[in-house]
Amino acid sequence: MRKSKLALLGGPKTITEPFVHYCSIGKEETQAAQAVIEGGELSRFLGCWHEDFYGGPKIREFESAWASDFGVKHAVTVNSNTSGLIAAVGAIGIEPGDEVIVSPWTMSATATAILMWNAIPVFADIETETFNLDPVSIEKNITPYTRAIMVTDIFGQAAKLDEIMSIARRHHLKVIEDAAQAPGALYKGRRVGAVADIGVYSLNYHKHIHTGEGGVCVTNDDRLAERLQLIRNHAEAVVGGKGVTDLSNMLGYNFRMTEIEAAIGIEQLKKLPRLIAERQRVAARLEDGLAGLPGLKLPAVMPDCTHVYYVYAMQVDTEQLGVARTRLLEALRAEGVPAIGGGYTNIHQLPLYQTKTAYGRNGFPWKSDFYKGSVSYEKGICPVAEKLHEQTEIGLQLCVYQYRNAEVDAVIRSFRKVWDHLDELK
């Protein structure tokens, strides 16, 4: 017997109450922040060479806890993942006119962090299975001007890091991991973000754990750690007193985290294993409930890896179903499912890259004496990413809403209801 009529076509909605927004903050964070406020020391950073160049006690405690938990020598806090990426690009010694290979399927800051140092983003394509950078496409995009790879661990799962690191070492390139969406994920027993030369995590409000805004950079390289710390905190005013002789990219910023945020972060970090386990439980329930729906491809988890499901990203075979993704999304949303389509806008299609307008109006840094290469951002350079964005990807933002069993089961019922009425949507 057919189920009730689709809500899109006048039937009753499956989900009638909006989902509760995800929140990982509790009394522990409130008490930690209150203690800092009552102590009166909200920050202790000084932008000169001094004992307090490294920040106050909560900053140092948080950095030490993060480094220990993630199995790295150094953790450097910053005020956002964007700041961390900018600091990381500067720390590895990128020069004006250098090319850095980057994914088109990520948040815009991953690529603009490259432009901040007058270097050139070069977009390689992504894999259909993981939505992460494709090592084959990376290799094809290496030129004499390539100096680094910026790899994003998108949606909560690692890219093929061993292959990417092998390419990088063969071509003498540095690697930065944008692990904003994958804190706590494992790649062959290692923490995602801790495999590359520098890894960067996000602590903004809709990540697995957060401090409101914030970020953490990690590295096992003493020199890179020092350069991250300098760029974070007014490098130009510190290098003289500290005795730093390599002045390349020693233009400092104020990327400093406060003591309040660090105190919150200490408590949030303790919760990360439990919060990841909850995401994985939701994903397993979705997988069981959605299995067998024709033309719906569920997220793949790579061998010897774990997925922490910032987004539960699926794909639809629109040719098999005979229904456009836009129509499927309309039907799912009408049932009350907070579904998204297309993940991110492909970055290379943004006006910034289509017009090559960044600094000023005359095409700088692409049109400059120091850039000797040639890069195209035309449609078609990343066919897999473009097709996923325009036609095939559907996602559930586990980062935005609480998915208790009742919500998960309602989503499953909504999908099955829509699939039962595919003929009416064609």
Counts for the chain of helices (H) and strands (E), in that order: 15, 13
* Cβ(86)–Cβ(310) below 8 Å: no
Please tell me the pTM assigned to this model: 0.96
Q: Residue 271 has which token pair?
A: 């919760």
Write the single-letter amino acid at 131: F
Residue 365: cis peptide before it, omega within 30 degrees of 0 = yes
Which pLDDT value is given to residue 282? 97
Which pLDDT value is given to residue 205? 93
Which pLDDT value is given to residue 375? 97
- pLDDT 10s digits, 70-121: 999 999 999 999 999 999 999 999 999 999 999 999 999 999 999 999 999 9
Which residue segments constitute the domains of the chain, with CATH numbers given?
Answer: 27-268 (3.40.640.10)
* Cβ(244)–Cβ(250) below 8 Å: yes
pLDDT mean over 342-350: 88
Which pLDDT value is given to residue 340? 93
pLDDT mean over 384-404: 94
pLDDT mean over 230-246: 97
pLDDT at 249 over 60: yes
- The answer to whether the Cα torsion of 268, 269, 272, 274 is positive or negative is negative
What residues contact 420, with CB distance under 8 A and at least 6 apart?
A: 2, 3
Q: Residue 190 has which token pair?
A: 């290692």
Average pLDDT of the chain is 96
Helix extents (H) in 335-374: 351-354
Question: Cα(351)–Cα(175) distance, rounded to whole angstroms?
Answer: 27
pLDDT at 261 over 70: yes
Cα angle 302, 307, 312 (rounded to 5 degrees) comes to 105
* Cβ(266)–Cβ(58) below 8 Å: yes
- Other Cβ atoms within 10 Å of 372 Cβ, number: 11
| Residue 2 banded pLDDT, cuts 50, 70, 90 | low
Which pLDDT value is given to residue 4? 83
Q: What is the dihedral of CA 356, 360, 365, 367, to 10 degrees?
A: 70
pLDDT mean over 214-229: 98
Q: Which residues pair with 99 in a beta bridge?
A: 120, 146
Q: Phi/psi at 151 (nearest 5 deg)?
A: -105, 130
Which pLDDT value is given to residue 3? 61
| Residue 342 banded pLDDT, cuts 50, 70, 90 | confident
Q: Residue 109 has which token pair?
A: 């800051």
Question: Cα(115)–Cα(120) distance, rounded to whole angstroms?
Answer: 6
Q: Is 169 strand, coil or helix?
A: helix
| Residue 1 banded pLDDT, cuts 50, 70, 90 | very low
* Cβ(55)–Cβ(76) below 8 Å: no
Classify burial at 170, counting beta carbons within 10 Å of its beta carbon; exposed 0-12, middle 13-18, buried 19 or more. exposed
